[in-house]
Amino acid sequence: MKRFKISEVHIRPFIQSGVGVLLGLLLGALLMVIFRYDPIIAYYWLFRGAFGSISDIMETLAFATPLMLTALTFAIGVKTGLFNIGAEGQMYLGALGAAAAAGAITLPAGLHVAVATAFGMFLGALWAIPAALLKMWRGVHEVISTIMFNWIAFHFTIYLIIYYFAEPGRAEKTAPALPGARYPILMEGSSLTAVVFVAIAFCIGIYIYLWGTKAGYELRLVGANPDAANYAGVSSRRVMLLSFVLGGLAAGLAGASQIIGRPPAWSLYATLGNVITLGFDGIGVALIGRNHPIGGIFAAVFYGGLRHGSRLMEYRAGVYSELVRAISGLIVVALAIPEIVAIIRRRFKR
């Protein structure tokens, strides 16, 4: 009987996700029928564009790489009982840090890419700390503080790009990363680089940390039952700070991945166009992946497939781009509903 209960717990999320995908596809199909499009043809081009060839799969993975990391930022917060939506701003600083380290100094090839990555992660974590301190010392809700810091990061990063890190004669972007600071491209003609392995390894490392160490158990305990954690002598302030720092490291790595791990620009645009919204998209990806580090990897690949495949849905099936985004949003919302319900239930149980 016990074995059946364990298997049911593991199988239920897959069943719910399958139902969510089906529901999202049906709602999207209904929307297309209303606007007189053929949903079968549209979905054919959507999935063919995402997974129809090796190059398409590689491009889907390139879209997925930063999302699995920004999803991790939100997921770590949820595991600690926090609603950390600061990945967007932390990612901006991570991208700027990677761009600065990759374009302003010269180091040996292997060392240079490692330093640029580490500096991006450091700035992402550094930007997460003020929100943590406001929560710990003054009780400021993390939703309010992280939204504020996202906007501050947006304008602050643009200012720094234009006035301090712009490529000479081209104020619209930072100086490009030097060749030794770039992750190698995995296939000619693709924008996927070896940074995808770093992102996956980081997600797996966080999974091992959360479920395989004492500190990770304390983090999850504070999120699941703060009273029990306090009774056990766990410092909620220390855990809270650690949660923000880990989330900032993930977001910083996401930003760095788009600068030194995503051609062809190898730089950060002054409009932040090559990183903007990836932090917010990560929230949806985290919910699809049930706020689990490994689930977030697969959810990011699925979401990356929607992003990459939607271009053929527009060009070949003739579906307007606005409607394509609406259909993708319906699928994401349908998939995220079970985890949203679970979060609400946990909140009311406290």
Cα 29–Cα 35–Cα 39 angle in degrees, nearest 5: 30
Query: How many whole angstroms separate alpha carbon 262 and alpha carbon 106?
Result: 20
Query: How many whole angstroms separate alpha carbon 11 and alpha carbon 14?
Result: 5
CATH number assigned to the domain covering 58-349:
1.10.3470
Reported as a single tens digit per residue, the pLDDT across 31-56 is 999 999 999 999 999 999 999 999 99
**Residue 9 pLDDT greater than 60, yes or no:** no
Rg (CA), the chain: 21
- For the chain, give every domain's residue range: 58-349
pTM of the predicted model, to two decimals? 0.92
Q: How confident is the model at residue 4 (pLDDT cuts 50, 70, 90)?
A: very low
- Sign of the four-CA dihedral 74, 76, 77, 81: positive
> According to the per-residue pLDDT averaged within each range, which of 44-48, 155-159, 346-350 is highest?
155-159
Q: What is the mean pLDDT of residues 321-328?
A: 86
Query: How many whole angstroms separate alpha carbon 205 and alpha carbon 122?
Result: 17
**Residue 155 pLDDT greater than 60, yes or no:** yes
Reported as a single tens digit per residue, the pLDDT across 109-154 is 899 999 999 999 999 999 999 999 999 999 999 999 999 999 999 9
Model pLDDT, residue 1: 41
- Work out the percent of the chain whose per-residue pLDDT is above 70: 96
Q: What is the mean pLDDT of residues 258-274?
A: 95
Model pLDDT, residue 10: 60
First-to-final CA distance of the chain? 29
**Residue 29 pLDDT greater than 50, yes or no:** yes
Mean pLDDT of the chain: 91
**Residue 21 pLDDT greater than 90, yes or no:** no
Query: How many whole angstroms separate alpha carbon 321 and alpha carbon 333?
Result: 18
Task: Report the DSSP pairing between strands 170-174 and 166-167.
Answer: antiparallel
Closest residue by Cα to residue 208 from 294, 288, 79, 122: 294
Residue appearing with tokens 């596809």:
25
- Sign of the four-CA dihedral 343, 294, 59, 274: positive
Model pLDDT, residue 254: 98
